[in-house]
């Protein structure tokens, strides 16, 4: 136990080596970290592999806000959530992975809700290209072949 | 053409920098899809095989809502809980059909001697069984569809009776969709439900009278078919209104409880003035039968007629099927009722909205033939060209030729 550290503080180390000091109450919002703390298998530096400093900072920000504002109005928290998750798609992907891997339920909920909002009104075609990585060229080609097949079938 | 290529390139570049959902674990995709409205989910069954199987297998949970499907002579309407009436595409265009049962959002449709499973929401249908005696005229049929979660299989139950003994008199057959066979089972009652029975706890419920007594004036009891045991049994009944037993007029499911409507007062004239609606709050418990409403002033109702509770709608009214000709909304607050007029009304049945498409009955073909709805149609400019072609691949547009094919397909089979 490092003496310089206040009680109930934990150090989280990201995959690229940066360290974050967070209160234990905040850290244990992640079920995975909670389990480690409860099993006492962790010293007070907890490595968080697969999550880089940038993303880890975001996750911690989110958890802190949720911890502080427990008493606050739910609507405020909702606004914060929707603003928080409104990021570029790449960050969103990393955040989802991190939240899933670290098991932070509130964050995962907010993120999934955000993705759902994103794809809600979209067309099938749009989703294929935007989220499933289909290429337009592929679609056109297979479309052509499919049409031939269909013409035969429907004769 | 140039714009097309440009567009393709532009998309290609953009696609790389974007959130790629397939890299996400399946549970996340399920989480995301579970947050979408039903309308989007129907559309998104076309996105990819993975999404389709997730949506149709029931992994993606949706909040089930009960709708009432009203069959007219040439139309089909659905009424949802907000009392919104919508026209629904019929399962077949020309042929007469009957609805034989409803379970888990699937309807059992009879077209001549063939039985089809049909999901009115996704428009998927598949032929499951045939039963030749249905071709003979003169059979009166009581039917139902139920699901056996143990063997993961749907079963159709039909009771047929014919005035001429040569045609088998009265008998009950159970059709298994997996083995495609019909089995005759013992049914020691006179059946008197007029249409398909409701399903609670996987059991299919009918009402019937004792075999030894007269068919119509005898007291009736609720019997249920348990698909796992392939047997009919009696359900515990509430204390009868008069000594012998009750005349049951209809069965239904309200808020998950089995409900029955019985004659409240005796009328020597054979007309029923007042009926009582009871609910079995805890399934299988005799003591849990509770009176919900006592409904009076129902029009021209005889004991041959049916009063079937269908579902509650937004303003607290209860939709009911009364007799042969009426669909009514009953208001429990002031004990009033009003007619719900649907042109050429014939019959009504409750179904649960679901995207369920049980595997193993050749649904796939039907899906690929493009029954998915909620199509985007208004597009403009050069984009239309792209979409139109893609639309066909997606089967987003169902042109008349295709539909014709589907219909004739049903007719030929």
Please report residues of A whose CB lies closer than 8 A to that of B46.
124
Q: What is the nearest CA distance from A44 to chain B, expressed in angstroms? A: 30
Contact with chain B for residue A149, Cβ under 8 A: no
Task: Give pLDDT, residue B270.
Answer: 60
- Which residues of chain B fall short of a pLDDT of 70? 1-23, 193-194, 211-217, 242-244, 266-272, 300, 358-413
B303 contact partners, CB below 8 Å, separation of at least 6: B216, B217, B247, B249, B263, B270, B272
- Is the ipTM higher than 0.85? The answer is no
For residue range B57-91, what is the model confidence (pLDDT) as tens digits?
Answer: 878 888 778 889 888 888 888 888 888 888 887 77
Q: What is the DSSP string of B36-72?
A: S-HHHHHHHTTT-HHHHHHHHTT-S-----EEEEEEE
- What are the boundaries of each domain within chain B? 2-61+357-412, 66-352
Contact B40 A154 (CB under 8 A): no
> The pTM is what?
0.72
Taking the domain B66-352, which CATH number applies? 2.120.10.30
The candidate with the shortest Cα–Cα distance to B329, out of B314, B321, B316, B319, is: B319
Contact B32 A116 (CB under 8 A): yes
* B2-16 helix and A136-154 helix, angle to the nearest 10 degrees: 120
Please report residues of A whose CB lies closer than 8 A to that of B29.
none
Domains of chain A, earliest start first:
9-120 (3.30.710.10), 122-155 (no CATH)
A94 contact partners, CB below 8 Å, separation of at least 6: A51, A52, A55
Contact B21 A132 (CB under 8 A): yes
Please report residues of A whose CB lies closer than 8 A to that of B408.
none
Contact with chain A for residue B11, Cβ under 8 A: yes
Chain B residues 16-75 with CB within 8 Å of chain A: 17-25, 27-28, 31-33, 35-37, 40, 43-44, 46-48
Task: Give pLDDT, residue B157.
Answer: 92
Contact A131 B19 (CB under 8 A): yes
Q: What is the nearest CA distance from A3 to chain B, expressed in angstroms? A: 41
- Which residues of chain A fall short of a pLDDT of 70? 1-7, 40-44, 69-75, 132-155
Distance CA B57, CA B231 (A): 28
């Amino acid at each position: 136990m490092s003496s310089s550290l206040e009680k109930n503080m934990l150090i989280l180390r990201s995959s690229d080596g940066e360290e974050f000091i967070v209160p234990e109450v905040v850290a244990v919002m992640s079920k995975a970290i909670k389990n480690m703390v409860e099993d006492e298998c962790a010293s007070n530096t907890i490595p968080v592999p697969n999550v880089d400093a940038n993303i880890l900072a975001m996750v911690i920000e989110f958890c802190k806000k949720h911890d502080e504002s427990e008493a606050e109005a739910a609507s405020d928290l909702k606004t914060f959530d929707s603003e928080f998750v409104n990021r570029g798609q790449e960050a969103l992907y990393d955040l989802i992975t991190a939240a899933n891997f670290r098991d932070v339920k509130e964050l995962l909920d907010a993120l999934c809700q955000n993705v759902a909002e994103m794809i809600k009104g979209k067309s099938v075609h749009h989703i294929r290209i935007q989220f499933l990585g289909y290429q337009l060229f592929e679609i056109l080609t297979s479309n052509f072949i499919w049409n031939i097949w269909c013409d035969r079938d429907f004769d | 053409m140039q714009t097309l290529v440009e567009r393709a390139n532009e998309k290609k570049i953009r696609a790389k920098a974007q959130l790629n959902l397939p890299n996400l674990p399946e549970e996340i995709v399920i989480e995301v899809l579970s947050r979408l409205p039903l309308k989007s989910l129907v559309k998104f069954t076309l996105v990819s095989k993975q999404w389709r199987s997730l949506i149709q297998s029931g992994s993606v949970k949706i909040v089930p809502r009960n709708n009432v499907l009203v069959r007219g002579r040439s139309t089909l309407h659905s009424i949802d809980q907000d009392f919104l009436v919508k026209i629904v595409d019929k399962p077949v265009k020309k042929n007469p059909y009957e609805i034989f049962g409803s379970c888990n959002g699937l309807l059992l449709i009879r077209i001549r001697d063939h039985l089809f499973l049909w999901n009115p929401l996704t428009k998927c249908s598949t032929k499951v069984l045939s039963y030749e005696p249905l071709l003979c005229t003169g059979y009166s049929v009581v039917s139902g569809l139920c699901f056996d979660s143990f063997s993961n299989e749907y079963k159709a139950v039909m009771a047929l009776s014919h005035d001429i003994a040569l045609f088998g008199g009265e008998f009950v057959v159970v059709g298994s969709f997996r083995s495609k066979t019909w089995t005759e089972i013992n049914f020691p009652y006179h059946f008197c439900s007029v249409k398909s029975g409701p399903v609670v706890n996987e059991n299919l419920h009918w009402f019937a009278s004792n075999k030894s007594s007269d068919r119509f004036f005898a007291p009736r009891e609720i019997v249920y078919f348990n698909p796992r045991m392939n047997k009919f049994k009696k359900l515990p009944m509430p204390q009868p209104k008069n000594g012998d037993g009750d005349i049951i007029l209809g069965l239904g499911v309200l808020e998950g409880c089995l409900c029955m409507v019985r004659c409240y007062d005796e009328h020597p004239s054979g007309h029923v003035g007042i009926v009582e609606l009871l609910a079995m709050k805890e399934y299988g418990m005799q003591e849990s039968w509770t009176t919900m409403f006592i409904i009076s002033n129902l029009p021209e109702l005889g004991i041959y007629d049916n009063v079937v509770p269908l579902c509650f709608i937004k303003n607290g009214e209860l939709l009911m099927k009364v007799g042969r000709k009426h669909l009514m909304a009953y208001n429990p607050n002031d004990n009033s009722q009003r007619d719900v007029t649907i042109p050429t009304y014939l019959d009504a049945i409750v179904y649960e909205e679901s995207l369920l498409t049980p595997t193993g009955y050749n649904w796939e073909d039907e899906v690929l033939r493009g029954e998915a709805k909620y199509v985007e149609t208004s597009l403009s400019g050069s984009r239309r060209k792209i979409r139109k072609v893609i639309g066909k691949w997606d089967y987003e547009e169902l042109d008349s030729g295709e539909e014709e094919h589907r219909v004739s397909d049903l007719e030929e089979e």
